[in-house]
């Protein structure tokens, strides 16, 4: 369910953030002050329309595939070596970060920016999780909801205490080569594998050192250090419980393992530019980890990448 949510909701975030920037030139009063009333109208109508529309779309495109029944819980905490939980955390963090920016753009006060703007993604995802709770194919996952809450809280708390995101959470993807062994579950092409194949996903904690140095320093403001987490060898959710063969009929065995990374990153939001549109574009693109050299650690090996993405 997270995969469908991410596609729909982040499409909404990209469209609204960039459109807000493009509309700046049209929403200026005669005294050159921003027309916050019109901005609020644009934000409210756009958010409401796309939120309601996307929930209807999810119901028609996804939930109708499964019969419904009484509300029930579903324990998937051991699936995918918790990569799906990292995805829930990341998605809600980014939704809160971007929507707080949109609320600030629209002229809402600080409390509204933090607690309403910061909570929109969480409310949306909780609604989707509740829809899961009535589906006989799934169920309400308390593990997913905890990750949702923690992700939103990570964005809101940093904005509240520091008025900026010093510790960011990002995403990168490279094809794992495993999707072909279970395309129904992991994706049949690149566009679906980005969402479905957890083997190719990496989630990053990206820290900006310059923001923690109190004294004036020459450390580049845009340079971050990043710590990543991924997992590999997952043909099924909780275990690889079916036979996998290559084209010659040889049985293949994949060991499920966790992988950890250290790398550098770029905080695009700290790159100076006078273009309002470019600032919004940078803010959206900043959901992705910038390709850079990296060191990978796992239980079986240590590996260096000249460029990891």
pLDDT: is 146 or 219 the higher one?
A: 146
Give the max Cα distance, the chain.
74
- pLDDT confidence bin for 264, thresholds 50/70/90: very high
Distance, in Å, from the CA atom of 166 to the CA atom of 163, rounded to the nearest integer, reads 9
Distance, in Å, from the CA atom of 143 to the CA atom of 149, rounded to the nearest integer, reads 10
pLDDT of residue 26: 46
Distance, in Å, from the CA atom of 170 to the CA atom of 206, rounded to the nearest integer, reads 7
Cα-based torsion angle of the residue sequence 278, 281, 286, 289 in order, rounded to the nearest 10 degrees: -100
Residues of 45-66 as b/e, b for ≥16 C-beta within 10 angstroms?
ebbeebbeebeeebeeebbeee
pLDDT: is 154 or 32 the higher one?
A: 154
Residues of 240-276 as b/e, b for ≥16 C-beta within 10 angstroms?
beeebeeeeeeeeeeebeebebebebbbbbbeeeeee
- pLDDT confidence bin for 245, thresholds 50/70/90: confident
- pLDDT confidence bin for 294, thresholds 50/70/90: very high
What mean pLDDT comes out for the span 17-28?
50
pLDDT of residue 6: 55
pLDDT above 90 covers a percentage of the chain that reads 52
**pLDDT tens track for 32-86:** 668 889 889 888 888 888 778 777 777 776 666 677 889 999 999 999 999 999 9
**pLDDT tens track for 106-125:** 999 999 999 999 998 899 88
Bridge-based pairing state of the strands 201-207 and 223-232 = antiparallel
Alpha helices (H) in 24-141, listed in sequence order: 36-61, 83-105, 110-115, 120-133
**The pLDDT of residue 25 is above 90:** no
**The pLDDT of residue 17 is above 70:** no
**The pLDDT of residue 195 is above 90:** no
Q: How many residues does the chain have?
A: 309
**The pLDDT of residue 19 is above 70:** no
pLDDT of residue 240: 85
What mean pLDDT comes out for the span 267-286?
88
Query: 3-class DSSP state for residue 239?
Result: coil
pLDDT of residue 55: 75
**pLDDT tens track for 157-186:** 999 999 999 999 999 999 999 999 999 889
Dihedral of alpha carbons 265, 86, 309, 121, sign: negative
**The pLDDT of residue 7 is above 70:** no
Average pLDDT, the chain: 86
What mean pLDDT comes out for the span 186-194?
88
223 CB-near residues (< 8 Å, 6+ apart): 208, 209, 210, 264, 265, 266, 267
64 CB-near residues (< 8 Å, 6+ apart): none
pLDDT above 70 covers a percentage of the chain that reads 88
């Amino acid at each position: 369910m997270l995969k469908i949510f991410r596609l729909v909701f982040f499409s909404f975030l990209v469209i609204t953030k960039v459109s807000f920037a493009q509309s700046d030139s049209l929403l200026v009063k005669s005294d050159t002050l921003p027309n916050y009333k019109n901005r609020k109208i644009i934000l409210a109508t756009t958010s409401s329309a796309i939120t309601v529309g996307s929930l209807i779309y999810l119901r028609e495109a996804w939930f109708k595939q499964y019969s419904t029944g009484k509300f029930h819980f579903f324990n998937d905490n051991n699936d995918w070596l918790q990569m799906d939980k990292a995805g829930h955390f990341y998605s809600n963090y980014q939704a809160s970060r971007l929507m707080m920016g949109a609320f600030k753009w629209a002229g809402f006060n600080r409390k509204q920016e933090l607690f309403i703007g910061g909570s929109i993604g969480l409310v949306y995802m909780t609604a989707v999780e509740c829809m899961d709770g009535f589906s006989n194919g799934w169920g309400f996952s308390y593990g997913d909801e905890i990750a949702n809450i923690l992700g939103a809280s990570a964005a809101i708390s940093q904005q509240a205490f520091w008025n900026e995101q010093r510790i960011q959470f990002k995403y990168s993807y490279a094809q794992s080569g495993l999707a072909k062994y279970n395309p129904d579950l992991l994706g049949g092409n690149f566009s679906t594998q980005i969402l479905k194949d957890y083997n190719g996903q990496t989630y990053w904690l990206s820290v900006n050192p310059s923001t923690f140095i109190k004294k004036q320093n020459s450390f580049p403001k845009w340079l971050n250090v990043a710590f990543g987490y991924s997992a590999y060898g997952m043909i099924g959710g909780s275990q690889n419980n079916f036979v996998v063969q290559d084209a010659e009929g040889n049985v293949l065995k994949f060991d499920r393992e966790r992988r950890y990374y250290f790398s550098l990153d770029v905080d695009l939001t700290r790159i100076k530019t006078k273009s309002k549109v470019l600032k919004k574009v940078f803010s959206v693109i900043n959901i992705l980890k910038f390709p850079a050299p990296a060191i990978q650690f796992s239980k079986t090996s240590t590996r260096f990448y000249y460029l990891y993405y």
